[in-house]
Structure 1
Amino acid sequence: MVAAGRRVIDALAAASDGRLAVEWTEFPWGCGYYEATGSMMQEGGVAALRDFDAIYFGAVGWPTVPDHVSLWGLRIAICQGLDQWANVRPVRFLPGVKSPLRKADEVELDWIVVRENSEGEYSGFGGRNFGGRLPGGEIAVQSSVFTEVGCERIIRYAFEVARTRVRKKLTSVTKSNAQQYGMVLWDDVFKRVAHDYPDVEIDTCLVDAMAARFVLHPEQLSVVVASNLHADILSDLGSALAGSLGLAGSANLNPERRTPSMFEAVHGSAPDIAGLGIANPIGAIESAALMLRHLGFPAEADCIERAIDRTTAAGVLPRDLGGEANTAEVTATILRFLN
């Protein structure tokens, strides 16, 4: 997937008359690296990334490596180590792609999920103890951590995103009826910050009701902000409703630009089809568009998204979208439609 995205970026750079130039440095980190060394990345790996302009991330995960090892050893280590606290996941309904939602045939659907990416349910606080007890006696504690600073910065960022939309609306998602400390803090911060954005329509919703709204009333959505876990789940639901997780790109941002941001497809790895050349490259290529937009090349980002739209509209669809095109064919078609 990374190779497909790099081809698209390199093609844009070659046609830019020097306006855009890209130098790639590739790191061999991941599950193969773990099996060879016992670590998902080299010692000091996060520090080694700090001087780059951006990170273009491939999927990790392999049956021989526990998922929590691959995730915490690489992706979360980078996100937390570089304070990439805002995760942005657009939900785009593409022409020529059949959605399981009937409403997608009736109304234009398009929304953005903004995910808190540094704390919450994925803070990593907790542990396992009493393993020496009799069988069944071990205990595991996993603590969610919500800080006022963490809540405010992601909520304020989401309000700014909402201001860029045609419909300036922000929906906050929590579960504060059941989680009476961290999620009530989130709600309180949302109410306070909302006073600074009188031009943005606001809405609040419990996460279970929001899952239903994604399916039943998606036309009500513009920008959705939620905690690390809730937004992770809801954004995957949104991508599936658009047709496939293979369509979705994402950006892990340090909005202050103190550190490089990281761009990746939402879908993760797919060991069952690895090496067959049939995976859907659109999510990775959409992530390339998000990366170029972040780096100050909005025209090139728009060019990529138009090419994706033209490709799916032309019926060049990979297998997860019901088509027969392989990875190379989808990529080649997107390259042909770049203009």
Structure 2
Amino acid sequence: MHTVTLIKGDGIGPSIMDEAVKVMDAAGAPIHWQEAYAGLAAVERFGTPLPEQTLAAIDQTKLAFKGPLTTSIGGKGFRSINVVLRQTYELYANVRPAKSWAGVNSRYADVDLVIVRENTEGLYAGLEHYLTPKKDIAESLAVVTRAGSERIIEYAFQYAREHQRRKVTVCHKANILKYTQGLFLDVAREIAPRYPEIQVEEKIIDATCMHLVMHPQQFDVIVCTNMFGDILSDLTAGLVGGLGLMPGANIGKEAALFEAVHGSAPDLAGKNLANPTAVIMAGVMLLRHLGEIEAAQRIQSAVEKVVREGKQVTPDLNPDSTAGTVEMGNAIVAAMA
């Protein structure tokens, strides 16, 4: 039996997480769920967006399954809980697969790539401040270390080898940012020869974006620094049908966190309209991480079947559907029977 910290999140989080838990339980996954709170739900209950009780739970389980959290935009409000969790538990590898879905109306039918994003450094390190008392000049520092670059690039090549991927694209901006991006690229050039069976290419971030839109089939595994990975993850989601279909994993040496990568969509909360696919597929990634391969495959096959048939899916996948979040979850459970 695996014990996993369950954080349902804000907005649509509780509704989609309930469906994910229902599906995972129905698949026979041996998981004991230990519920904890973060974000606005935690503020309402504990007066803080990240209570000590939640950190204590993750300290114990080393595994978290999380719904979307609401984070304020701009200089007011609390800092991103996602960033804090990633840095607290050294969840240095953010993994986001983007694969085309049968039954989903998207621009491409044959995309199958993975973004491996450095998750703790770069411009998201949180080192920013105002330079003047008037707060009219702000500065953010991008931190790239050799150690951080080595572990994420090594992870990307290991991932490619273990999943029989053919190529790793090192995405960078070393032509302009000579030191930070230059260091990242230098480390990639040192590590790549250890994986002679894997093709390696170097590509500047802006060219990567253009080529992803024009011909995404040329990519397999893309590894990059934090902010570039954040942007590319959403771009690749757009290639396969949107964030409602995109799962995410945050992997460290001692802990891991799995989540839907979309927002909390408070305008949809309580309306039984939110698509649970992304977080259910994050649950599949969690099960694979735990070695529960059979349960993971049962769920994945059932989700693919329901999405392909397009009948019991949420309206974002089929505007003519009258099914909602709960009905889609029920259909996935039925497809496993």
Q: Is the 8 A contact 2:174 2:182 kept in 1?
A: yes
In the alignment, structure 1 residue 303 sits paired with structure 2 residue 312: no
* Alignment gaps of 5+ in structure 1: 14-19
AA partner of residue 90 (structure 1): P
Q: Which of these residues, 114, 124, 127, is aligned with residue 122 of structure 1?
A: 124
Letter in 1 for 2:21: R
The answer on whether the counterparts of 2:37 and 2:51 sit within 8 Å (CA) in structure 1 is: no
Among the aligned pairs, what percent are the same residue?
A: 34
2:63 equivalent among 32, 54, 65: 54
Partner SS state of residue 104, structure 2: coil
CA gap of 1:71–1:21, structure 2 versus 1, over 3 A, is: farther
| Residues 67 and 269 of structure 1: CA distance in aligned 2, closer, same or farther (over 3 Å) | farther
Secondary structure of the residue that 1:156 maps to in structure 2? helix
Contact 2:38 2:69 in 1 (8 A): no
Give the corresponding residue for 2:111. Answer: 109
State whether residues 101 and 304 of structure 2, in contact with CA within 8 Å, keep that contact through their aligned partners in structure 1.
yes
Deviations 1:154-193 (A, max 9, x none): 0010001111344421001011112111000011000000
Question: Separation in 2 of the partners of 1:284 and 1:2?
Answer: 7
Amino acid at match of 1:23: H
Deviation at 1:59, TM superposition (A): 0.5
Q: CA RMSD in A?
A: 1.9
Deviations 1:45-88 (A, max 9, x none): 434311114101011116xx547777735221111101111110
Q: Summarize deviations over 1:261-290 as a string: whole Å, max 9, x none.
A: 110011121112111110000000000000
1:34 maps to which of 39, 43, 52: 43
Shift of the 67–265 alpha-carbon distance from structure 1 to 2, 3 Å rule, reads farther
- Matched residue SS, 2:316: helix
- Other-structure match for 2:314: 318
Q: Is residue 331 of structure 2 the alignment partner of residue 336 of structure 1?
A: no
Q: Is the 8 A contact 2:38 2:54 kept in 1?
A: no
Q: For 1:185-264, what aligned pairs fall within 5 Å after superposition?
A: 185-254=183-252, 256=253, 258=254, 260-264=255-259
The answer on whether the counterparts of 1:4 and 1:281 sit within 8 Å (CA) in structure 2 is: yes
**1:270 matched to which residue of 2?**
265
What are the ranges of 5 or more consecutive residues in structure 2 without an aligned counterpart? 1-15
Distance 2:239 2:268 in 1: 22
Q: Do the aligned residues in 1 keep the contact of 2:37 with 2:54 (CA within 8 Å)?
A: no
Write the mapping of 1:105-184 to structure 2, written as runs, cut at 5 A.
Answer: 108-131=110-133, 133=134, 138-184=136-182
Mapped partners of 1:43, 1:70: distance in 2: 19
Aligned length: 319
Matched position secondary structure for 2:203:
strand
1:9 corresponds to 2:11 = no
